[in-house]
Structure 1
Amino acid sequence: MAAAEMPPTDEPKEETAEESCLPNAPLIERERAVLDLCEKYEEKIKFIEQNAGQLSQDVSEEFHELHRFLVREEQTTMARIRKNKVEALAYMEGKVQELTSLLEDIGESSAADMLLAEFDGKVYQKREEFRCVHLKVMGSLPLQHRVWKRMRRVIQPAMEPLTLDPQTAHHGLTLSKNLRAVRQRFGSPMVHTHSKLFKTCFYVLALEGFLDGRHYWEVDVGDKTNWTIGVCNPCIGRSVVGSSTGCTFTKDLSPENGYWVLCKLPGERYQALTSKSFTFRLKKSPTRVGVYLDFRNANIGFHDAENMTHMFTFKDDFQSAGKLHPFFGPGLVTSEPDCEPLRVCVV
């Protein structure tokens, strides 16, 4: 006998707990993703507020220091003007009294002529001295220019007077006698055996290294078509760099390997290696690049030193990176401008 079929029913089928949750799972995941994103935005807002507050305080302190310097310069300059004025007028007033006495005794013409000649000579001398009061106070240059020159003493950080370390220079490089310029060597390369030198690429380090604080230096890159500048930790970085002789830039120049560098490539392109290669162009190619290393704020920035236009900034924990040395690669000679050296600028 055939099994009886169950009659159809209009009652809905009862769902298990697991089945009933399935249609809502994508919505829950999306809601969680939105909440996570909101938390990240809130954290970023707090970070920006904290950093903006610290930045405002730092900027205010630095401007106050410049203001204090300018006030001191103004006070000193005005005091010198007053002092010179008092001295000159006192002398002239004394001579006027002498002249008055001479007029009363004008009858003795010979003596009067002698004294008048002496007086004329001294008056002329004082006139010249008084005329030079302006020059004594301000010098032969405009006042603002002189003050700006002296202001460099209070600017922090001052420009670092870097020198190149010949023991680190690749054998295909030539350093200037003052150790402040480097270019590709023409002719037979020098043979070095020092353990600190770069063996595969045209690089050289500065003698000076930094562990903390703020440091600034400028590099004259001219119209060269390719170069590399930045900082590195030579203790971890030198052994991993380069695989081809004379290379101007390799993927090894990365923060993971102890390098924070900016490179100019042929074709007016610029490249930096962060977690991945980052290439960009500028409206105007700088002929002088400023490098600013700030351990406290954990960044190293590159700027056009002529107008301080920002080029690129690395953010990293430099405190744990060890001693960092300025890093230079003059590039390969691919055109006439590349024959010029890379120069460390001095004040």
Structure 2
Amino acid sequence: MADSLEQNLCCSLCARIYCEPVTLDCAHNFCRACIEGLWSTTEGNVSCPICGQALPKRELNTNQLLATLVTSLGLLGRRPSPPLTGQTCPSHWGQPLLFCTKDLKLVCPSCMPQGLEGRHSLMPTEEGYAFCQEKLENSAAFLVKRMEEYRHAEISQSSRMSETLELGETLKENIQAQFLQMHQFLWEQEVTLSERLTKESQGLVQALGTNLKLVAKRNISADKLITEIRSLIETEDQSRLLMETKNLLQRCDLHREPVLQPPEVSVGEFNGPLQYMAWKRMISVVSPAPAPLTLDPDTASPCLMLSKDHTMVKRRTKLRQVPESGKRFTFCAAVLATEGFGSGRHYWEVDVETSASWIIGAVNDSVERSEDVPLTPSNGFWTVRLWNDKVHWCQDSLGASQLCTDTRPDRVGIFLDYERGQLSFYDARDMSHLCTFFEHFAEKLYPFAFPLSGLETAENELIRLFHLRL
């Protein structure tokens, strides 16, 4: 009963038990200090803060009945809470009587908002004290939780930093090892070609030296023969001329043989397209090189047609009659390669230049082939898709696709590192990276192709497994 009585004896402005209660002409009651403080900032006519009735005169009539009741309440041990000491309102220099939960500040009667709606956020300072304590406790609890998250994040980020540095060193070593192999190959090609050129040049110089000696010897012989011929011509001994002419002519005929010419340097071998020749030979040390895959007709959907060499596939306008096979795709127009990979590093390329829409990649050997399931990693499908001339990939179980590139590739390269759990896709024109799946592969993976061409363009849209021919 005392609590109910106290609620009815509280000022609607300060939410405290009336202190010197006064009554307005509209019959609403307030503390004298509260209403005077509220009106002190208003010039001219004032109004009741509860009902809004205009009050031309600022007459405040003491409500003796309320004063008596408040006194009686005091006898029950429930006196009005004293105002805060040592605190003044910075705007009006009044003594704060209430706490505003909306603005989180103390307010004096002059600061109190007009109307009932604004006063819902006001409470006595004792309640405001408890309110602020609760707010601060909640904030402290939030910060403690956040600090724990920061601690875990700090540990995680430090660990990730170490792992990233270690991974960077490992990848750097891998880059150096692969290019060292290529550098070694090119160095060996350079040395071999240089040694062959040196050997051929030295052989040529030796042949030229031999020819030079022979030419000098023949020159001396010819000069001596000329002297003998002129001597015989000038002789008056006819018998001698007639007898020696045959011998001199025979000796002269020996000089009719052409001068020996040494072989020419093989310019075409040593001054040809050396870089291209080395590049073609380098395929022997490139690992992995593009694999010459073929398509497995036993897995091809009845909606598909394969070329005779099983390297190309396209959609059919009509279903074909095919033997029953547990390996065959029937829920989608897909086909697998004949060869699967359960270990090692492999690379293959798929030519999609003439196809307007497709899905390609790699799948588990055990993927569902007769039921309609999402082509997601959780179902054993790691693929990329061309749709509206943009390449997308799906890396979660929900099937949400993400953009790889807004450039349409003519050929897609696919790299598998089985032990590292990496499946990467590239634009094979410039080997720019499209996307990479990371997965712990537990079974054999097979290259996968799914033409999405419409029936009206099916005959002209092909997907072809690229075979490198050098």
AA partner of residue 310 (structure 1): H
AA partner of residue 130 (structure 1): E
SS of the aligned residue for 1:197 comes to coil
Which residue among 190, 198, 205 is the counterpart of 1:89?
Answer: 205
What's 1:293 paired with?
Answer: 416
From the superposition, tell whether residues 110 and 186 of structure 1 become closer, same or farther in structure 2 (CA, over 3 Å): farther
Which residue among 216, 220, 223 is the counterpart of 1:104?
Answer: 220
What's 1:161 paired with?
Answer: 292
From the superposition, tell whether residues 172 and 115 of structure 1 become closer, same or farther in structure 2 (CA, over 3 Å): farther
Q: Which is worse superposed, 100-109 or 217-226?
A: 100-109
Which residue among 108, 113, 135 is the counterpart of 2:268?
Answer: 135
User: CA shift at 1:206, angstroms?
Assistant: 0.8
- For the residues of structure 1 that align with 2:429 and 2:187, how far apart are their CA atoms? 27
User: CA shift at 1:339, angstroms?
Assistant: 1.6
SS of the aligned residue for 2:326 comes to coil
What's 2:351 paired with?
Answer: 220
What's 2:77 paired with?
Answer: 6
- Whether 1:258 and 2:348 are equivalent positions in the alignment is no
What's 2:233 paired with?
Answer: none
From the superposition, tell whether residues 150 and 217 of structure 1 become closer, same or farther in structure 2 (CA, over 3 Å): same
SS of the aligned residue for 1:70 comes to helix
Count matched residues. 323
What's 2:331 paired with?
Answer: 200
From the superposition, tell whether residues 38 and 70 of structure 1 become closer, same or farther in structure 2 (CA, over 3 Å): same
What's 2:192 paired with?
Answer: 76
User: CA shift at 1:32, angstroms?
Assistant: 2.0
Q: Is the 8 A contact 1:198 1:204 kept in 2?
A: yes
Where do residues 169-248 of structure 1 align in structure 2 (5 Å cutoff)?
169-187=300-318, 189-240=320-371, 242=372
Answer with 1 or 2: which has the greater Rg. 2
Where do residues 319-330 of structure 1 align in structure 2 (5 Å cutoff)?
320=442, 322-330=443-451
- For the residues of structure 2 that align with 1:112 and 1:203, how far apart are their CA atoms? 87
TM-score w.r.t. the length of structure 1 is 0.83
What fraction of aligned residue pairs are identical, expressed as a percent?
28
- For the residues of structure 2 that align with 1:336 and 1:186, how far apart are their CA atoms? 9
- For the residues of structure 2 that align with 1:75 and 1:116, how far apart are their CA atoms? 44
SS of the aligned residue for 1:30 comes to helix
Unaligned runs of 5+ in 2: 3-72, 83-125, 226-247
- For the residues of structure 1 that align with 2:431 and 2:456, how far apart are their CA atoms? 27
- For the residues of structure 2 that align with 1:43 and 1:193, how far apart are their CA atoms? 53
User: CA shift at 1:115, angstroms?
Assistant: 5.4
Unaligned runs of 5+ in 1: 243-250
From the superposition, tell whether residues 330 and 23 of structure 1 become closer, same or farther in structure 2 (CA, over 3 Å): closer
User: CA shift at 1:331, angstroms?
Assistant: 2.3
- For the residues of structure 1 that align with 2:284 and 2:252, how far apart are their CA atoms? 55
What's 1:272 paired with?
Answer: 393
AA partner of residue 173 (structure 2): Q
Q: Is the 8 A contact 1:165 1:206 kept in 2?
A: yes
Q: Is the 8 A contact 2:316 2:455 kept in 1?
A: no
SS of the aligned residue for 1:291 comes to strand
User: CA shift at 1:136, angstroms?
Assistant: 3.4
- For the residues of structure 2 that align with 1:169 and 1:290, how far apart are their CA atoms? 22
User: CA shift at 1:69, angstroms?
Assistant: 1.0
- Whether 1:314 and 2:437 are equivalent positions in the alignment is yes
SS of the aligned residue for 2:366 comes to helix
Q: Is the 8 A contact 1:206 1:325 kept in 2?
A: yes
Q: Which is worse superposed, 58-67 or 189-198?
A: 189-198
User: CA shift at 1:294, angstroms?
Assistant: 1.4
Q: Which is worse superposed, 106-115 or 293-302?
A: 106-115
From the superposition, tell whether residues 112 and 286 of structure 1 become closer, same or farther in structure 2 (CA, over 3 Å): farther
Q: Is the 8 A contact 1:165 1:204 kept in 2?
A: yes
From the superposition, tell whether residues 52 and 337 of structure 1 become closer, same or farther in structure 2 (CA, over 3 Å): farther
Q: Is the 8 A contact 2:349 2:413 kept in 1?
A: yes
Which residue among 406, 428, 431 is the counterpart of 1:305?
Answer: 428
AA partner of residue 282 (structure 2): M
- For the residues of structure 2 that align with 1:261 and 1:112, how far apart are their CA atoms? 86
Q: Which structure is higher in RCO with an 8 Å CA cutoff and minimum separation 6? A: 1
Q: Is the 8 A contact 1:331 1:338 kept in 2?
A: no
From the superposition, tell whether residues 109 and 171 of structure 1 become closer, same or farther in structure 2 (CA, over 3 Å): farther
C-alpha RMSD over aligned residues: 2.9
Q: Which is worse superposed, 208-217 or 97-106?
A: 97-106
User: CA shift at 1:211, angstroms?
Assistant: 1.2
Q: Is the 8 A contact 2:302 2:319 kept in 1?
A: no
What's 1:67 paired with?
Answer: 183
- For the residues of structure 1 that align with 2:345 and 2:254, how far apart are their CA atoms? 68
AA partner of residue 6 (structure 1): G
Q: Is the 8 A contact 1:226 1:338 kept in 2?
A: no
From the superposition, tell whether residues 77 and 27 of structure 1 become closer, same or farther in structure 2 (CA, over 3 Å): same
Q: Which is worse superposed, 324-333 or 179-188?
A: 179-188
What's 2:117 paired with?
Answer: none
AA partner of residue 306 (structure 1): R
